[in-house]
C-alpha cells in the first residue's frame, strides 16, 4: 500500500497500518506476550533510548496494537494537508477505553491551576470526570454555550487560567452540534489546546483536524470497532514531539493501555468501516423520517433533519449525519417503558455503533440516579429514547419500531 499515491478511504481501512509480519502471516496476529526480548545489552539501550525501533513491554504497545493505531491515524488524516501542503501526519495511541484516552489527554496537557472551557452536552462520563475528579487535582471547568462564539470569546478573555477547549460534536444524547471551524479558530487565537471527541461522527463523516484541532479522542468501542466486541479508546494528535513525549509518558504511566486481543478485534472491524458507515447512515435517514412522522413521537433529535437546530452546522462539517438519534415519546416515562419492552428485533442496551440496532431509555437506566430536574435541564426527558441505527434491512427495523410504538 505504501507505493500508492493517494489511497482511498476504504483502501486505508483495509490496508492502512499493516506491516509485513515476521512470519508472513496474512493478518497481524494477536501478540499475547507481556514483554519483548533484546538480542544484546546494547540493543536494549538503543531501544530504550529510541535509537532503534522495537517493542519493550506490553503496557507500552505491541505489533497488534500498533497496526490499529497506525490505521486510525491514517483515517483521521485522510486527504488532509498541513500548512506546507504535505499530507497531514497524525499519531495515535490506543487505550483501554474512550475514558482512558480522554484521561491521558487531560492529564498529559493540564496541571493544577489550569482550566478547561467546554459546553453543556458532553458524554456523561466525561462530564463526571470534569465535575468530580479534575477539581480535586486543581483543574476547574468553565461551561459556556458553544453555540454563541461571542460568549466563548468573552469567557476566554476574562480568565487567563483557561488552557484548553474541549468540544464534543455531535453530543450524546441530544445530538447537539457545534461549529468546530469557528470554535477551533477562537481557541487557537487564544493559544488554547483544542480537542474534540469524534466518537459519534467518526473520521468517515467528520475530520476535526481539518479545523486545526490539537487532539481527537474516540471511544473505539462504538462505530470504529463496529461489532460490539471490545471496549477501547484512541487519542490522536498532530504534534509529533508532544505525542512521543509527555502524551506517551502519561499513557504509559497511567496504565490505561489496550491489549492485543481487543486491538485485533478493532483492526478487523475497521476493515469494513467505510461500508458499514454508509449502510448505518442510509438506515438512519429512513428511521429518522419515519419517527418524525409518527403520531406517538413528540420530537426527533437527529442532525440530518432540517428541523434540528444544528442541521446547518452538521451539514457544514459532516459528510452525512451519522446513525445515532434520540426521540421523545408523547406518553413520557410510562410509554417509554412499554415501548422498550415491546421491541422484538432491536436490542435494549446501552452503547451504540454496533451492527445491530440498539436503543436505550436513559431515564430508567443510565440516568436513573440523576435528580429529575438536573436530568431535564440537560435535555433528557422522561420519554426520551436513544437509538443507534444498525445495519439490518431497514424494513425490518421500521417494522419493529412500528409495532412497538403502536
Ligand atoms: C461520546 C463518547 N465519548 C467517550 C465515551 C467513553 O468511551 P468508553 O465507554 O469506551 O470509555 C463514550 C461512551 O459512550 C461516548 O459516547
SS3 sequence of the chain? CCCCCCCCHHHHHHHCCCCCCCCCCCCCCCCCCCECCCCCHHHHHHHHCCCCCCCCEHHHCCHHHHHHHHHHHHHHHCCCECCCCCECCCEEEEECCHHHHHHHHHHHHCCCCCEEEECCCCCHHHHHHHHHHHHHHCCEEEECCCCCHHHHHHHHHHCCCEEEEEEECCCCCCCCCCCHHHHHHHHHHCCCEEEEECCCCHHHHCCHHHHCCCEEEEECCCCCCCCCCCCCEEEEECCHHHHHHHHHHHHHHHCCECCHHHHHHHHHHHCCHHHHHHHHHHHHHHHHHHHHCCCCEEEEECCCCCCCCCHHHHHHHCCCCCCEEEEEECCHHHHHHHHHHHCCCCEECCCCCCCCCEEECHHHCCCCCCCHHHHHHCCCCCCEEEEECCCCCHHHHHHHHHHHHC
Distance 99 CA to ligand 1 centre (A): 6
- Residue nearest atom 8 in ligand 1 by C-alpha distance: 98
Q: What is the average pLDDT score of the chain?
A: 96
Distance 108 CA to ligand 1 centre (A): 19
Distance 157 CA to ligand 1 centre (A): 31
Q: Is 388 in the pocket of ligand 1 (CB under 6 A)?
A: no
Distance 406 CA to ligand 1 centre (A): 32
Q: Is 221 in the pocket of ligand 1 (CB under 6 A)?
A: yes
* Structure confidence at residue 305 (pLDDT): 98
Distance 38 CA to ligand 1 centre (A): 37
Q: Is 198 in the pocket of ligand 1 (CB under 6 A)?
A: no
**Ligand 1 nearest-atom number relative to CA 199:** 1
Distance 1 CA to ligand 1 centre (A): 32
* Structure confidence at residue 2 (pLDDT): 67
Q: Which of 167, 171, 222 to mutate to test the pocket of ligand 1 (most atoms within 8 A of CB)?
A: 222
Distance 98 CA to ligand 1 centre (A): 5
* Structure confidence at residue 5 (pLDDT): 80
- Residue nearest atom 12 in ligand 1 by C-alpha distance: 219
Distance 219 CA to ligand 1 centre (A): 5
**Ligand 1 nearest-atom number relative to CA 168:** 1
| Cα(90)–Cα(95) distance, integer angstroms | 16
pLDDT in tens, the chain (406 residues): 767 788 999 999 999 999 988 899 999 999 999 999 999 999 999 999 999 999 999 999 999 999 999 999 999 999 999 999 999 999 999 999 999 999 999 999 999 999 999 998 788 899 999 999 999 999 999 999 999 999 999 999 999 999 999 999 999 888 999 999 999 999 999 999 999 999 999 999 999 999 999 999 999 999 999 999 999 999 999 999 999 999 999 999 999 999 999 999 999 999 999 999 999 999 999 999 999 999 999 999 999 999 999 999 999 999 999 999 999 999 999 999 999 999 999 999 999 999 999 999 999 988 887 889 988 887 889 999 999 999 999 999 999 999 999 8
Q: Which of 106, 216, 221, 230 to mutate to test the pocket of ligand 1 (most atoms within 8 A of CB)?
A: 221
**Ligand 1 nearest-atom number relative to CA 101:** 11
Amino acid at each position: 500500500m505504501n507505493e500508492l499515491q493517494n489511497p482511498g478511504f476504504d483502501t486505508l481501512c483495509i490496508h492502512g497500518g499493516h506491516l509485513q509480519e515476521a512470519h508472513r502471516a496474512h493478518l497481524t496476529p494477536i501478540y499475547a506476550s507481556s514483554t519483548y526480548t533484546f538480542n544484546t545489552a546494547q540493543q536494549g539501550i538503543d531501544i530504550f533510548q529510541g535509537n532503534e525501533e522495537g517493542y519493550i513491554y506490553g503496557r507500552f504497545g505491541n505489533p497488534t496494537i500498533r497496526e490499529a493505531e497506525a490505521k486510525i491515524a491514517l483515517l483521521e488524516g485522510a486527504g488532509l494537508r498541513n500548512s506546507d501542503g504535505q499530507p497531514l501526519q497524525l499519531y495515535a495511541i490506543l487505550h483501554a477505553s474512550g475514558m482512558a484516552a480522554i484521561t491521558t489527554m487531560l492529564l498529559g496537557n493540564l496541571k493544577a491551576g489550569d482550566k478547561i472551557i467546554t459546553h453543556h452536552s458532553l458524554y456523561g462520563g466525561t462530564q463526571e470526570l470534569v465535575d468530580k475528579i479534575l477539581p480535586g487535582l486543581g483543574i476547574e471547568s468553565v461551561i459556556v454555550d458553544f453555540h454563541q462564539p461571542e460568549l466563548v470569546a468573552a469567557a476566554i478573555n476574562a480568565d487567563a487560567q483557561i488552557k484548553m477547549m474541549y468540544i464534543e460534536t455531535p453530543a450524546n444524547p441530544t445530538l447537539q452540534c457545534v461549529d468546530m471551524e469557528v470554535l477551533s479558530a477562537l481557541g487557537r487565537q487564544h493559544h488554547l489546546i483544542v480537542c474534540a471527541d469524534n466518537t459519534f461522527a467518526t473520521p468517515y463523516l467528520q475530520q476535526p483536524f481539518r479545523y486545526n484541532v490539537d487532539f481527537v479522542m474516540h471511544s473505539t468501542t462504538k462505530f470504529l470497532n463496529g461489532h460490539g466486541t471490545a471496549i477501547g479508546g484512541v487519542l490522536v494528535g498532530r504534534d509529533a514531539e508532544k505525542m512521543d513525549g509527555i502524551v506517551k509518558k502519561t499513557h504509559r504511566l497511567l496504565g490505561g493501555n489496550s491489549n492485543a486481543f481487543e486491538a485485533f478485534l478493532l483492526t478487523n472491524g475497521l476493515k469494513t468501516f467505510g461500508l458499514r458507515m454508509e449502510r448505518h447512515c442510509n438506515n438512519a435517514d429512513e428511521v429518522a423520517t419515519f419517527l418524525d412522522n409518527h403520531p406517538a413521537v413528540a420530537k426527533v433529535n437527529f442532525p440530518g433533519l432540517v428541523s434540528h437546530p444544528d442541521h446547518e452546522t452538521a451539514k457544514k462539517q459532516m459528510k452525512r449525519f451519522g446513525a445515532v438519534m434520540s426521540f421523545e415519546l408523547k406518553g413520557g416515562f410510562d410509554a417509554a417503558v412499554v415501548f422498550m419492552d415491546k421491541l422484538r428485533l432491536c436490542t435494549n442496551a446501552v452503547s451504540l455503533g454496533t451492527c445491530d440496532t440498539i436503543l436505550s431509555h436513559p431515564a430508567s437506566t443510565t440516568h436513573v440516579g440523576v435528580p429529575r430536574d438536573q436530568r431535564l435541564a440537560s435535555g433528557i426527558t422522561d420519554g426520551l429514547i436513544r437509538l443507534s441505527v444498525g445495519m439490518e434491512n431497514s424494513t425490518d427495523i421500521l417494522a419493529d419500531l412500528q409495532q412497538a410504538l403502536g
